[in-house]
Amino acid sequence: MKKILFLLIGILISSSIIGQTHPDWIKKSVFYQIYPSSFQDNDANGIGDLKGIESRLDYIQSLGINAVWLNPVFKSAFQDGGYDVIDFYQVDPRFGTNTDLVELVNQIHKRGMHLVLDLVAGHSSNQNEWFKQSMQADTNLRYSNYYIWAPYKPNDLSEQEASRWVEANAPRGKYYIKNFYDIQPALNFGYAKPNPKHPWEQPVDAPGPQAVKNELKNIITFWLEKGVDGFRVDLAASLIKNDPDKSATIALWKELNGWFDKKFPNGVLIAEWFNPKQSIEGGFDIDFLQPGHLFSPFQRGQKVPAKVYFDKAGEGELIKWYNDYKDQYESTLNKGYISLPTGNHDSPRIADSSRNDVNQLKVAMTFLLTLPGVPFIYYGDEIGMKYIPGSPDVEGSRTRSGTRTPMQWDDSKNAGFTLAETKKIYIPQDPDPNRPTVAKEDKDPNSQLNYVRKLLTLRASSTALGNDGEWKFISDPAKPYPMIYMRSKGSERYLILINPSGSKVKAELSSINTKKAIYVFGTSEKCVYKIGKGTDMITLPAVSAAIYKIE
Ligand code: GLC
C-alpha cells in the first residue's frame, strides 16, 4: 500500500513538473522562418510564392531543419507585409491557392518536416468584410461586435492608449481602436476591467468577444484540418485590452491552448509575446526572446547600448542579457521552450554593419545554435545575408525592408530568386557583387553555410546540446569575454566557449571536475584547454568559438 502511495505521489510530482504537454517532434525541432514574398519566385512576377518554397525544400532539409514557419500567406491588402488580413481562410493569390498550400504541407510532411503558419490573432485589415460590416449603423449584424467602436474619445486616456484611437467617422461610430497601423483595427476580445462609463469596453464574456474567440478557433481548425502543424501567433499578448498584468490575456490563452492541445495533440502554438514567463503560463509551446530587444547581445541602434557584445571591439556587456535570459529560462524550465532566434522579419540581421565577416558570424551562430530551447533560423542568416540599410519602404516595411531582401541562391540573374526583370523585384537585393549565395557556400567546406549544417548535426546528435539539455553559465557574466556555458544531460557534458572580441582571451574555470576535454567543433583548433588541479585554463584566439566535450 505504502509503495503504491509513493508511486502515486511520484507520478503526481513528475507530471506537475513536466506540466504542459508538447508534441514529441518539437523536442528535436529546429525551425526555419521564411518571409514568403522574399524566398523563391516561381511565376516570374518578382515576388516569392508557395510553389517557389516547395522547390527549395531539399535545401531547407539539407540544413538540418525539420520545421518551417511562414509569415502570413493569407489574402491581404499588403499594407503591413501580410499582417493586414482580408480573408483568414484564403491564401493570397500572390502566393498561390489553398490547394498549393495543401500540396506544400504534403511535401513537407513527406520529408518528415512540419509546417507552421502565422496567425494574426489580434487584428485584421480594414478591408476585411468583417470590418466593413461592423462599420454599419445596425449593431445586430453577425460581425457588428468584432471590433471596438466608440462615439467619442475620452480625454483621460494615457498617451499610449490615445495613440490607438483611429478617427473613422463611420455610421457605427466616430472611432475604432487599432493595434499597429491605422489599417489594422483590433479585434474585440474584450476588456479585462471594463469601465462602466465607457460602453464600448465589453467584458471578455460578452457575445462579441466570445464570437471573436470562436472565429479564432475556426481559423485554427480550418488550417490544422488541412494538415498544417500549428501557428506562430502574432502579437499574442495584445488581445485583451486594459490588461496591464496580462492576467486576463494569459487566462484566455490558457483556455485556447487547452482546447487546442486536446483537439490537435500534435500541433504547436508559438507565441510572439516576447515574455515566455507569461506566454508559457498561457499554455504556449514556445515563445521568443526578441532578437533585437533592449538587452540583446546583437542589436545596435537607438535604445541599445552602443557597445554591443557581439562585436570585435570587445567592449560590450552581457550582464543585462544574462539576467533576463536566466530568469526566463529558469521560470519556464520543463514547462515550455524559449527561443532566441537568429533574426526575424522585424529586426536587423545579425550580419549588420561592422559585424559582417564570416568568422564573426560563425561565432554568433555557435552561440545561437547551442542555446537550450528551440532554435529558429531566419532565412538567409545561414549564409550571412546582410541587413541592407536604406532599402526602400515596401508594403509598410519601413526600415524592416533591409531585413526582408530576397534570398540569394546563386550567381545567376537576381541571385536565382526570380526570372522577372530586376526592376520588378519585391525589394532590391544586396548590391555587393560578392554577396553571399547558397551556391558559393555550398561548395566551400569552410563557409558559414557548412558551419551551420555541422553545428546542427552536432546538436541533433546529443541530448545535452538539444532543446531539453540543461544550461548553466560557467564564466562570470560581469567579465563578458569569453562567455562560457555548459550544456548537459545526465552525465553528458559540453562546454561552449564564445569570444566575439578581436583579442585573444584567457579564462580560468574552477569546479567543473574535468578528466578530459575534447575539442569537438568550433571556428579554430587553436583554442587551448589545460586541465589543472581543480582549475582549468582556457585560451581562445580573437573572434573564435569552441565546443568541448567534457568527461
Ligand atoms: C508583429 C509582426 C510585425 C507586424 C506587427 C503587426 O509584431 O511581427 O511584422 O507588423 O505584428 O501585425
Residues 119 and 149 in one domain: no
- 77-80 long-range Cβ contacts below 8 angstroms, 24+ apart: 77/125, 77/126, 77/127, 77/183, 78/395, 78/396, 79/125, 79/181, 79/183, 79/395, 79/396, 80/180, 80/181, 80/183, 80/184, 80/395, 80/396
Residues 165 and 35 in one domain: no
Looking at residues 443-465, what average pLDDT do you find? 98
- The answer to whether position 12 is within a domain reads no
Chain segment 383-421, per-residue pLDDT in tens: 999 999 999 999 999 999 999 999 999 999 999 999 999
pLDDT on residue 274: 94
Round to the nearest angstrom and report the end-to-end CA distance of the chain. Answer: 42
Q: Among 460, 481, 496, give the residue marking a domain's end.
A: 460
- The answer to whether position 192 is within a domain reads no
Chain segment 521-536, per-residue pLDDT in tens: 999 889 999 999 889 9
Residue 481 to residue 506: CA distance in whole angstroms: 8
- The answer to whether position 197 is within a domain reads no
Q: Does the pLDDT of residue 137 top 50, yes or no? A: yes
**Amino acid letter, 482:** P
Longest Cα–Cα distance in the chain: 81
Q: Among 460, 485, 517, give the residue marking a domain's end.
A: 460
Kindly report the backbone phi and psi dihedral angles of residue 217, in degrees, each rounded to the nearest multiple of 5, phi listed first. -65, -40
Q: 82: CA distance to ligand 1 center in Å?
A: 9
Residue 1 to residue 368: CA distance in whole angstroms: 49
- The answer to whether position 178 is within a domain reads yes
Q: 234: CA distance to ligand 1 center in Å?
A: 6
Query: Could you tell me the pLDDT band of residue 17, with boundaries at 50, 70 and 90?
Result: very low
Looking at residues 441-467, what average pLDDT do you find? 98
pLDDT on residue 305: 55
Indicate the Cα dihedral angle 94, 99, 105, 109, nearest 10°. Answer: -150
- Residues 74-108 as b or e (16 or more Cβ within 10 Å = b): bbbbbbbbbbbbbbbeebbebbbeeebbbbbbeeb
Considering the chain, what is the average pLDDT of its residues? 94
Q: Among 425, 460, 495, give the residue marking a domain's end.
A: 460
Mutate to test the pocket of ligand 1, among 78, 80, 187 (most ligand atoms within 8 A of CB): 80
Residues 262 and 365 in one domain: yes
Ligand 1 contacts CB of residue 529 (under 6 A): no
Q: Does the pLDDT of residue 230 top 60, yes or no? A: yes
Residues 119 and 135 in one domain: no
Residues 511 and 430 in one domain: no
Residues 452 and 526 in one domain: no
- The answer to whether position 406 is within a domain reads yes
Residue 501 to residue 503: CA distance in whole angstroms: 5
Residue 172 to residue 135: CA distance in whole angstroms: 5
Q: Does the pLDDT of residue 169 top 50, yes or no? A: yes
CA distances from 24 to 21, 221, 266, 285, 326 (A): 9, 20, 8, 11, 25
Residues 381 and 430 in one domain: yes
Q: What is the CATH number of the domain that holds 141?
A: 3.90.400
Residue 133 to residue 139: CA distance in whole angstroms: 9
User: How many CB atoms are located within 10 Å of the residue 301 CB?
Assistant: 13
Residues 362 and 345 in one domain: yes
Which ligand 1 atom is nearest residue 345's CA?
9
- The answer to whether position 288 is within a domain reads yes
Ligand 1 contacts CB of residue 232 (under 6 A): no
Which ligand 1 atom is nearest residue 180's CA?
6
Q: 232: CA distance to ligand 1 center in Å?
A: 11
Q: Is 87 helix (H, G, I), strand (E, B) or coil?
A: strand
Q: 81: CA distance to ligand 1 center in Å?
A: 9
Q: Does the pLDDT of residue 357 top 50, yes or no? A: yes
Residue 209 to residue 190: CA distance in whole angstroms: 5
Q: Minimum mean pLDDT among 11-25, 164-178, 272-286, 426-440: which range?
A: 11-25
- The answer to whether position 204 is within a domain reads no
Looking at residues 84-112, what average pLDDT do you find? 98
**How many domains are there within the chain?**
3
Residues 53 and 172 in one domain: no
Q: Is 98 helix (H, G, I), strand (E, B) or coil?
A: helix
**Amino acid letter, 469:** G
Q: What is the CATH number of the domain that holds 510?
A: 2.60.40.1180
Q: 112: CA distance to ligand 1 center in Å?
A: 29
- The answer to whether position 397 is within a domain reads yes
pLDDT on residue 353: 81
Q: 83: CA distance to ligand 1 center in Å?
A: 6
pLDDT on residue 302: 46
Residue 269 to residue 280: CA distance in whole angstroms: 10
Q: What is the CATH number of the domain that holds 405?
A: 3.20.20.80
Q: Does the pLDDT of residue 13 top 70, yes or no? A: no
Residue 500: closest CA among 455, 539, 541, 472: 541
Ligand 1 contacts CB of residue 84 (under 6 A): no
Which ligand 1 atom is nearest residue 84's CA?
12
Residues 370 and 502 in one domain: no
Q: Name residue, grid cell 514529441.
A: 24
Q: Is 442 helix (H, G, I), strand (E, B) or coil?
A: helix
Are 353 and 344 in contact, with CB atoms under 8 Å apart? no
* Structural domain harbouring 478: 470-550
Query: Could you tell me the pLDDT band of residue 511, with boundaries at 50, 70 and 90?
Result: confident
Q: Does the pLDDT of residue 14 top 80, yes or no? A: no
Which ligand 1 atom is nearest residue 396's CA?
10
Residues 139 and 232 in one domain: no
Residues 456 and 486 in one domain: no
**Cell output for 171:** 455610421
Looking at residues 322-332, what average pLDDT do you find? 95
pLDDT on residue 295: 59
